[in-house]
Amino acid sequence: MSLPTPAPTGAVEALLRTSTQAVPGVGHVSISLLERGGTVRTLATTGDVARRLDELQRALREGPSVDALHGDESIVGLHARCPQDAARWPELAPRVDALGLCTVLAVRMAWERKTLGVMTLGCDAPGGLPRQTVVLASAFAAHAAATVALARKAEQLELAMVTRQEIGQAVGILMERYGLTADAAFAYLRRLSQNGNVKLRDIADQLRLTGRLPGEEGPS
């Protein structure tokens, strides 16, 4: 049994709203997560502009968010009409300008030295972003990383609790059916798992749902 990927939490959405109010000049913010296999998924945005900016960078495979996730710099900025930035991101820069944005700032989200994702901020006011804005954006990205990391830990804990419950039910079935002790029933399930190279949880699920064990009808 697997648990669905959780929808954006109220804490994440509140964080996005607060960031647009607290970080001067920023009106568009998104949080994207780095998932297994290297895929990137947008978790939450403040609106259509932030969502389109995320989609553009993923489709073009270039931009501050891409570099902040995979490069050496944890904070990367783009000024749409800066010649150096236009040369660095030739496909993205004119599209950023077309979105009505003057500046894009991407900040890597990390927790316990592990990259979790990226917070991307868009500014539609000319003049770039002052240093204080970068400092505040970094603080919000750290807060977002903590929120996501703790939510994932809670999800893993819930899954572990469900798994233990399912295995316990399977052990109870074997105890009743074959007159085994709890230790003997669990040892039998574990032996089936090791011999068949099947997850213990999957064997327990099969027993609970079908009343049958894989490959054997009962313990020897």
The C-alpha atoms of residue 57 and residue 10 are separated, in whole angstroms, by 26
The C-alpha atoms of residue 45 and residue 29 are separated, in whole angstroms, by 6
Residue span(s) of the chain under CATH 3.30.450.40 come to 10-155
Q: Which CATH code for domain 10-155?
A: 3.30.450.40
CATH number for domain 163-210, candidates 3.40.630.10, 1.10.10.10, 2.60.40.10, 2.60.120.380: 1.10.10.10
Ranges of the chain with pLDDT below 50: 1-8, 218-220
Q: Give the CA distances from residue 109 to residues 45, 147, 161, 172, 203, in Å, rounded to whole numbers and listed in that order.
A: 15, 10, 28, 44, 38
What share of the chain in percent tops pLDDT 70? 91
Residue 93: CB atoms within 10 A of its CB come to 22
CA 110 from centroid of its chain's CA atoms? 11
- Model pLDDT, residue 220: 44
DSSP assignment letter at 37: G
Q: Decide if 75 contacts 106 (C-beta within 8 A).
A: yes
Residue span(s) of the chain under CATH 1.10.10.10 come to 163-210
Q: What residue type is assigned to position 189 of the chain?
A: L
The C-alpha atoms of residue 110 and residue 208 are separated, in whole angstroms, by 40
